[in-house]
Every structure is written in C-alpha cells, then in structure tokens.
Amino acid sequence: MGEWSLTKEQHVETIARWIIGCEHTVVFTGAGISTDSGLPDFRGPEGVWTRRDAGLPAPRWRVPPGRVEPNASHLSLVELQRLGKLRFLITQNTDNLHRRSGIRPEFLAELHGNGQLVRCLGCDRQYTRQEVGWDTTRWGPGYRTQKPVLGQPACVACGGRLISSVVNFGDPLPQKEWALADQHARNCDLMLVLGSSLMVKPAASLVGLALGSGARVVLVNRGRTPYDEAATLRVWTGIGDVIPPAVERVKRALGEE
C-alpha cells in the first residue's frame, strides 16, 4: 500500500479489519510505544543514541521514573489479549510496562530483558528484585559484566549468581524467549510492528521471518526503518493515533462493548 495515500482513518480501519480476520496476530514493540508514557526512545530526533552520536547529553525523561505508567497503546494490546486476538508479544523494551499493563508472561518475550528482573546464571530462573531483596544502592544493577559484590543475593533455587536480566550490547539473548519469538514470527499471519527503528539485530530479523512466511506486516514508526518498503502497510503517525482506535473497532465488531 502507498505510504502516504491512506488517511489515518483508513489506516485504523485496515488494521482493525486485518486483526479481526487473522488467526495468529503477533505484536513486536520497540521504545516508541513507551514515549507516550514519558520515556525517551533511542533513535528518534531526540533519542538516546541520536543525542549521544551528536555529542549531546542523554534526553530528560518527561515523567519522574517513579511515575511512569503504561499508556493507551500498552493497554490496547492487553485488550487484544482479553479478546483472544493476541497470540504473542515480542518486545525490545526493558521498561516493564507490558507486564505492568497486564500482558501475561506466557504471552511475552522480552528479548532485551527487564530492568525489574534478575536471573540466575546457573538455572536461568527469574525473580523480581523485590523477591530476592536486591538493593541497587548496595549492589548496583548487577550487569553480567560487573564483578559480583560481597553479600549480594544468590539464586534461592540453586545458589547460582544472579545478574540483571537486561541484555546489554555483547550479551547473548535469552534462549527461551528467542525461540518463542522465532516460532511465533514464522507462524503468524499478521505482525504489528510498533515503535521500533528495526536497527538492532537479531531482534529486527523477526520482521523478515514474518514477511518471508507470508504474513502481513503493519509497521508504525515515526522514523525510517530498513523495512519501510517491505511492510504490507507503513504508517508514519504515532502509535497512539492508530492502535487504540483500531482496537476499539475490533471490540465493537466482536460485540465486546
């Protein structure tokens, strides 16, 4: 479809119609879905990496860290889950907003980890920082590359070393999450790609897997991506402008209002 030929209303209608008609919808999200919650993105005009590459300081959060909440786009994906129209959600985000919004863990692959979770290097179990009593003021974030600090909590199941579940550059992706994401990308008939520049690999390659398997791909992102020409529908507006109203149409069509 033409990049500029459809109105916002037509985009909303098309996305809703495809969600209703498809059996295996997968959502892929990047930092752009959280900008309406006050978090900066990475490669937008004022993004973290954009400013870093220009020699500028990191962008300020528009909301104090303790007050960041899921926004309408996060909540609309929870509605798709409730309606039985979301089969799986793949995210590059570490902000915990998908879990907080109500996405069930079994429907979610956090490919780059979660800033609120630690995992065991021995048995791969995950815990919230609260569950294990991890105090970041004493032991720091606990990244894999940091040396263990005396007295920091260990895995209650096997005694192994706990590290932040966040995947930093050079760290391996979590195997279980990657396998699930790969499986769903290959088997979906619709993938909604929301707020990702699709520059970070291997996560971005999942979009190519979906396209190669014959799925429709809706790409909603304000900035350019390597998949702009390949996407079935390319939407250049904000995620909040099209996804929440599209989900409302799905609800009405399914008699859920």
Which residues are catalytically annotated? Answer: 112
Cα separation, 207 vs 109, whole angstroms: 15
β partners of residue 216: 190
**What burial class does residue 198 get, using C-beta atoms within 10 Å of its C-beta: 0-12 exposed, 13-18 middle, 19+ buried?**
buried
Q: Are 98 and 68 in contact (CB under 8 A)?
A: no
- How far apart are alpha carbons 83 and 81 in whole angstroms? 5
Half-sphere CA count of 213, side-chain side, radius 13 A = 19
Q: CA dihedral defined by 220, 226, 229, 232, rounded to 10 degrees?
A: -40
140, amino acid identity? G
Name the β-bridge partners of 25.
Answer: 190
SS3 at position 45: coil
Alpha-carbon distance of 72 to 33, in angstroms, equals: 10
Contact criterion met (CB below 8 Å) for 83 and 251: yes
Q: CA-CA-CA-CA torsion for 98, 102, 106, 108, nearest 10 degrees?
A: -20
